[in-house]
Amino acid sequence: MSGARTRSDGDAGLLGRFLELRGSLRAERIGRGGSEVCAALTAALDEAIGALAADFGPGSKLAVVAMGGYGRGELSPFSDVDLMLLHDVGDPSEAAATVFRPLWDAGLRLGHAVRNPREAAKAARERFDTFTTLLTSRLVAGDPELYEGLATDVAWVTKARLLRRYLVGEEIERRGASPYLLMATDVKEGRGGLRTLHGFEWERRREALIGRYSAESGPEEEAARETLLGVRNALHAVAGRRYDVYSYDLRQSVARWLGTDEYEVGEALVEAMQTVDRLAADRWSRIVAGSDPPDRRTWWRRGGDGGTVGEYLPSVHELVAILRAGEPGRRTIQQMRESGHLDDLLPEWEAVRTAPQLAPFHEHPVEAHLWRTVDEMQGLVDGADGHYSAVAAEIDSPDLLTVAAFLHDIGKGGGGAHAERGAGIARSFCERLMCPADFSMAVEAAVRHHLLLSRTATRRDLDDPAVIAEVAETVGDLRLLQVLYLLTVADSRATGATMWNNWKATLVRTLFIRCAALFGADQLDSPAPGTTRAQVLGAVGSGRRHAVEAHVDGMPEEYLRSTPTDAVLWHLSLIDQMRAQSNLDIRVGEAAQTAAVVGRSRRHFRRIVAESFAANGIDVLEARLTTRVDGIIVDSFQVRDDRTGGTVSPERWDRARADIEAAFAGGLDTESKVAARAEAYSTVAATGVEPQVTVSIDDASNDGVITIRCADRIGRLAEVLSILRELDLEIRLAKLDSRGGEVIDVFHVPIASVPAESSEVRRLEQRIQRLIKP
């Protein structure tokens, strides 16, 4: 037939069956969820399209050709359906409408083309994407001779196309965009994903078309393909649309659909990506930029009983050369693993090699994170930032810094506290390499304490001398403090974008400098943590002395400890100028803006301020909340723009001031304004983080500490302030650590607020947890 026919009810029924199958997959997978799902979807769609083109037969000069994922038989639930109507007739429009229109009407994402063989061959010569889709195309319905003619034309085009150069270029682009494997990977287009496997398949098809032998895919490649297809199918099923990114908020649903748990899915996905990455490097060696892998032949060392020949083991310096070599060095470590030599050097590597990281702020699986930390450390040692490179120069052991970076998370491969477990592994590792005792002890201590500075900086009061003294005592000496400082920076940067910013850099640097001063490093400029009563009084004339005395004497003891003289006078001037219920002013700092809010104490004062900030896109990083004995509130906030992380504009501050006053006057519902902003940004809100609350005592500061881990969302601080106020918990310090959809917020309260009995502490934790929105 040269034209088309009218669609029958039977055709519609077959297409409906395909849609029903796709819908049923949202609730239940077929088989293991990978290729079996793809095969079922492909077969159902083939049957439906075959019915639509039932009158296309031999001699019709019409053929329906599947291309892309559909052509490969890798149709996922919401994949695009790529079709070409191949023809050798005058006007194929009626035939095209017969096939394509029902698919459009059914809501399928249809990629379509109408070409004769000459046009198809010309398109293949001009566009690589058309060429590659034709390489793995197949006939669904219609004239087989017409399709065979196309295959012959594609074979001729294939001889002239330099496919490998194109595939290598694409792979280099993928690796440039993702120098390290990602947890939230795009399983189709991302590094270590299906697109790389498609390249292998295209090459094999090309070789077959031009008459060359090409080995079939091996079991490793097929296992990786099965995992990637399974995760992609699961993503489509649980999202209800085409969605290929293994994002944090869908991981639990993906695991349930696949009939397993998050960790097992993550581990299988990491192994699949690593396999694809390695196979690509084996196949296309040019994608691994840099020098050749360091030579292992110089590592031959005699050992064991009676001087028998032992295993290959590098010296520390030789190992460090490998670690610093980038991807070639990583290839060397992989070769050592394959040969069994890595088991002699670091048998614990196998446990972290495919370990996923499930927290939303971790961008990379464990192995990739370790490699990135090594690279970040090298950047600190050799980089343009003179502060970090000067600290590294004082340590005078780049090898120590590299090994500490390489091993800091090595304990994540087993149960228990990973830092303590990793310290033991680090000690054994250094013993195997026969490292000097001081080197071994420093590496072990760095691994054990690698979280100390970041946790202290983001959760405790850095203006409390007791906290600084406790950290210095734990560290023990200046050299280890310097190692930990650089390791903290490298580790945070390597964790992900949300784990390091100017504010966190300032906190960690402040902690480092104040601890270093206790070790006699007085050449560093230590930020002044506060002031004294005498210093404040000495900064004002006799005419203001009485007012300043009354202000200072009416504040809690920790106020002067944490507030510089100029800030004390700033606060007092804002109180003097207060004409309504409150006054607000800002100062621009190096890492964040400081907002001071003063006002007459009233119920919900702080909730209204926090809601006004949230409603106007002002993100609070740290808050010091103080009430003078006469009821005057003096609160200080470190803030930033909640979308850009930069400076809040003057216009937003004007709106925030107006909102605070309107709310105090009873003319504005700030909670509703927060809800409106949250709804406007709902597409970027995190989900799936269950609130966790712990209540403890900080022995150094003698504070009660409430730690809340929950999903990040607009208005979170106002919500928590309101909850704690209702429980009569007076907050003096809040430190808010936002990290990729999740937050760890720490609130310091008077120790008298914390129950003495552990059972009462648990009840308090449970009450707070129940009140926090999931």
- Of 485, 518, 551, the position where a domain reaches its end is 518
Evaluate whether residue 729 is within a structural domain.
yes
Please state the pTM of the whole predicted model: 0.91
Provide the mean pLDDT of the chain.
90
Which positions ≥6 away from 151 have C-beta within 8 Å?
A: 209
pLDDT at res. 721: 92
Residue 347 burial (CB count, 10 A): 13
Percent of the chain with pLDDT over 90: 72
Region 632-654: what's the mean pLDDT?
Answer: 94
Evaluate whether residue 78 is within a structural domain.
yes
- Of 489, 518, 547, the position where a domain reaches its end is 518
pLDDT at res. 1: 41
What token pair was written down for 720?
Answer: 């928590």
Q: At what angle do helices 418-432 and 398-407 cross, to 10 degrees?
A: 130
Alpha helices in 521-649 (DSSP H): 533-538, 545-553, 557-562, 565-576, 605-615
- Go through 592-607 and write b for each residue having 16 or more CB atoms within 10 A of its CB, e for each that does not: bbbbbbbbeeeebbbb
Q: Above 50 in pLDDT, residue 307?
A: no
Percent of the chain with pLDDT over 70: 93
Angle at 592 between CA 588 and CA 595, to 5 degrees: 60
pLDDT at res. 305: 43
Question: Looking up tokens 């022995």, which residue turns up?
Answer: 699
For residue 449, the enclosing domain spans: 346-518
Evaluate whether residue 423 is within a structural domain.
yes
Handedness of CA 362, 363, 365, 367 (dihedral sign): negative
SS3 667: coil
Amino acid identity of residue 41, one-letter, is L
Question: Looking up tokens 């290929």, which residue turns up?
Answer: 244
Evaluate whether residue 722 is within a structural domain.
yes
- Which own/partner pairs from 101-104 qualify as long-range (CB within 8 Å, at least 24 positions apart)? 102/7, 102/11, 102/12, 102/15, 102/52, 103/15, 103/49
Evaluate whether residue 100 is within a structural domain.
yes
Region 444-455: what's the mean pLDDT?
Answer: 98
Q: State how far the Cα of 37 lies from the Cα of 388, in Å rounded to an integer.
A: 52
CATH code, domain with 93: 3.30.460
Evaluate whether residue 297 is within a structural domain.
no
Handedness of CA 394, 399, 405, 411 (dihedral sign): negative
SS3 417: coil
Of the candidates 398, 424, 558, 427, the one whose C-alpha atom is nearest the C-alpha of residue 487 is 398
Give the count of domains, the chain: 3
SS3 586: strand
pLDDT at res. 525: 62
Region 577-595: what's the mean pLDDT?
Answer: 90
pLDDT at res. 303: 40
Q: Above 70 in pLDDT, residue 2?
A: no
Half-sphere exposure of 381 (CA within 13 A, CB side): 19
pLDDT tens sequence across 116-167:
999 999 998 888 888 899 989 999 999 999 999 988 888 888 877 788 889 9
Evaluate whether residue 388 is within a structural domain.
yes
Of 26-35, 176-185, 683-692, the poorest mean pLDDT is in 683-692
Q: State how far the Cα of 299 lies from the Cα of 277, in Å rounded to an integer.
A: 27
pLDDT at res. 71: 95
Name the pLDDT band for 738 (thresholds 50, 70, 90).
confident
Region 627-631: what's the mean pLDDT?
Answer: 95
pLDDT tens sequence across 675-697:
999 888 865 444 567 899 999 99
What token pair was written down for 723?
Answer: 């909850």
Q: Above 80 in pLDDT, residue 230?
A: yes
Q: Above 90 in pLDDT, residue 9?
A: no
Please check whether residue 725 is in contact with residue 633, taking contact to mean a CB–CB distance below 8 angstroms: no
Region 379-404: what's the mean pLDDT?
Answer: 93
Which positions ≥6 away from 70 have C-beta within 8 Å?
A: 42, 45, 79, 80, 81, 82, 83
Q: State how far the Cα of 721 lies from the Cα of 772, in Å rounded to an integer.
A: 11
Amino acid identity of residue 140, one-letter, is V
Q: Above 80 in pLDDT, residue 38?
A: yes
CATH code, domain with 740: 3.30.70.260
Region 619-643: what's the mean pLDDT?
Answer: 95
Region 180-200: what's the mean pLDDT?
Answer: 97
Evaluate whether residue 672 is within a structural domain.
no
- Of 113, 137, 161, the position where a domain reaches its end is 161
Please check whether residue 459 is in contact with residue 431, taking contact to mean a CB–CB distance below 8 angstroms: no
Greater confidence (340 vs 99) lies with: 99
